[in-house]
Amino acid sequence: MTKKSKIDHYTDKEALEFHNRGKSGKIEIISSKSLTTKRDLSLAYSPGVAVPVLEISKNPEAAYEYTSKGNLVAVISNGSAILGLGNLGALASKPVMEGKAVLFKRFADIDAIDIEIDNKNSDEIIKCIRNIGNSFGGINLEDIAAPDCFVIEKKLRESLDIPIFHDDQHGTAIITSAALINALDLSNKKPSDVKIVVNGAGASALACANLFKSIGIKTENIIMLDRKGVIYKGRDNVDQFKSEYAVETKLRTLKDAIKGADVFLGLSAKNVLDKEMVKSMAKNPIIFACANPDPEIKPEIVDEVRSDAIVATGRSDYPNQVNNLIGFPYIFRGALDVRAKEINEEMKIAAAKAIAALAREEVPDEVVNAYGGERPHYGKEYIIPSTFDPRLISRIPAAVAQAAMDSGVARKKIEDIEEYKDQLTNRLDPSMSIMQGINAQVKKRPKTVVFAEGEDRNMLKAAVAYKNSRLGTPIVIGNEKRVQEQLKEIGLDENYKIKIVNSTDKEKRELYTKKLYAKLQRQGLLERDVDRLIRNDRIIWGSSMVECGDADAMVTGNIRHYAASIESLKKVVDARPGEILFGLNLLITPKKNCICCRHSSK
């Protein structure tokens, strides 16, 4: 077993206990239909099941309608190249394949089943998958050694009309291409002009080089190396896959090839790139050191000799992680939803461009939390979106589906791509469909809302989200300097435009005091007492804004108990005649929704 890095924070025992806890393994099968009555059983199996059987026998496409085929992917390996562990056999690959199935479900709501084929013969593997292939909407090949992986994928694509995707090749290529698009943009370099050195000539490296050409890199500008050095024309024992990158050159070693190079892509072994090589690269070099678990060169070593480099690795403890999880669940999601016959180059490029574009946008709070509270911004240390970015589920599948339709491999058409994006978002979060319905109504009649505890970080984030979602106009109550400091701390410019109010506004304070004094004077309060309430209680200030028509609603209670908030609120506003004040919570689950109300005291 490989030695784990310090950042893993687990022991071998913990890993084994995780896989053994409760039910052994990581996946299970559950029914998507209710099976509680005798009639349910008759419909699910005999005799009711005969009806869809006959329909599918007449029209095979009906399998997408009456079975799980359209949302089912087979994750298949023979264990000949398991992660960084090598050829340990089919059965040993099962934990990895189960893990892949779990990721499909968690990130794209795709049902996946792992299949381990105990055979090293590519023809036998092809025959096996071909015979079972039509049971699935797609096939994800995994951890199969080169060159067999190339042959297997090619033959299966020719004989099956469903997506066949070798993630070790194409997943890595797509994420790396997205990273390269952004790195070239930040370096102000054109794809057609750059010189690229690819160290490694396995499945991933060849797929990366192929996709690089699709985004504008010239073949003659790519120098590829394997364990024996530069792949050049006339070299002995170069297979048909590597020979495509054999060039006329006198270069023979990595040290020779790297001089003046704009880009280094490493899919090889640790520590093969040294400081002197990095020094010899062109201005603003791009270094993708993707060997796992130890990269070809560590980012901190690059920093010692170059301040102008953009560096990416395959590790989560460094910026710019090249992680296939950003790609494969969403690529399959888009392909399945249009019933694509294959995943072609157009779909791969669309995925890469969608990933690159997403990294250039402001990131949501989920990503901020994943980054330890820091908000990353597009730049040298953020050229690839986080795996926790919730927008991946809508952006990438939509781009892939559109490319499939445009390129003619889709058998099902999506009429409204924006509506499809909403549906994708809803797949993972049952609250989203309800919230989107509420938001749609709010957008039709945007309101001005007061956020009472404007200096509280979470309250301020809510106000910012309200504004950025174009739901209406937020107003925050707080000290202007402290609010601006908080804006900066949550990753926004201190000059971010949001309206800030407080009791230093003498004119408004006098208006609110007069209005509230008229209500409370019979309760034994003097006007100066009311003025003190207005100045010191932000809930009373915000409530007065609503009462006097300066706002339509108020959000509060984030730093006070419900009862305390209600007590302040009731000093200013009353329930409508015949009605009561109450708190409301909406509990949303995949099966049902519940509205919970809490009656306040009279």
Q: Give me the pLDDT at residue 6, please.
A: 39
394 close to 421: Cβ distance less than 8 angstroms: yes
Least confident of 13-17, 188-192, 334-338, 549-553: 13-17
* Two tokens, residue 129: 């998958």
Q: Give me the pLDDT at residue 441, please.
A: 79
Q: How many CB atoms lie within 10 A of CB 214?
A: 14
pLDDT digits (tens, 9 = 90+) for 400-440: 999 999 999 999 999 999 999 988 987 876 666 677 667 77
Q: Which residues contact 557 (CB under 8 A, 6 or more apart)?
A: 565
408 close to 356: Cβ distance less than 8 angstroms: no
Q: Give me the pLDDT at residue 570, please.
A: 87
286 close to 191: Cβ distance less than 8 angstroms: no
pLDDT digits (tens, 9 = 90+) for 343-398: 999 999 999 999 999 999 988 776 776 665 678 889 999 999 988 888 899 999 99
Local confidence band at 5 (pLDDT 50, 70, 90 cut-offs) = very low
Least confident of 236-240, 436-440, 528-532, 575-579: 436-440
151 close to 122: Cβ distance less than 8 angstroms: yes
CATH 3.40.50.10380 residue spans of the chain: 6-32+68-162
Closest CA to 547 of 534, 557, 559: 534
Catalytic residue among 26, 69, 94, 100: 100
Closest CA to 144 of 205, 76, 201, 96: 76
Q: Give me the pLDDT at residue 432, please.
A: 62
CATH 3.40.50.10950 residue spans of the chain: 437-599
CATH number of 6-32+68-162: 3.40.50.10380
Say yes or no to pLDDT of 2 above 70: no
Least confident of 129-133, 534-538, 573-577: 573-577
Say yes or no to pLDDT of 583 above 50: yes
Mean pLDDT of 262-284: 96
pLDDT digits (tens, 9 = 90+) for 72-112: 999 999 999 998 788 999 999 999 999 999 999 989 999 99
Q: Give me the pLDDT at residue 184, please.
A: 98
Mean pLDDT of 332-344: 97
CATH 3.40.50.720 residue spans of the chain: 170-318, 325-428
- Is residue 213 flagged as an active site residue? no
Q: Give me the pLDDT at residue 295, please.
A: 94
Residue 307 burial by CB count (10 A; 0-12/13-18/19+): exposed, middle or buried? Answer: exposed
Q: Give me the pLDDT at residue 163, please.
A: 97
Closest CA to 197 of 205, 189, 188: 205
% of the chain with per-residue pLDDT over 70: 95
Say yes or no to pLDDT of 7 above 60: no
- Is residue 100 flagged as an active site residue? yes
CATH number of 325-428: 3.40.50.720
CATH number of 437-599: 3.40.50.10950
Mean pLDDT of 155-179: 95
% of the chain with per-residue pLDDT over 90: 64
User: Exposure pattern of 33-53 as b/e (b: 16+ CB <10 Å)?
Assistant: eeeeeeeeeebeeeeeeeeee
Alpha carbon distance 194, 151 (integer Å)? 31
CATH number of 170-318: 3.40.50.720
Catalytic residue among 4, 45, 275, 443: 45
Say yes or no to pLDDT of 8 above 50: no
Highest mean pLDDT among 33-42, 279-288, 422-431, 516-525: 279-288
Q: What is the DSSP letter of 134?
A: G
Q: Which residues contact 531 (CB under 8 A, 6 or more apart)?
A: 509, 513
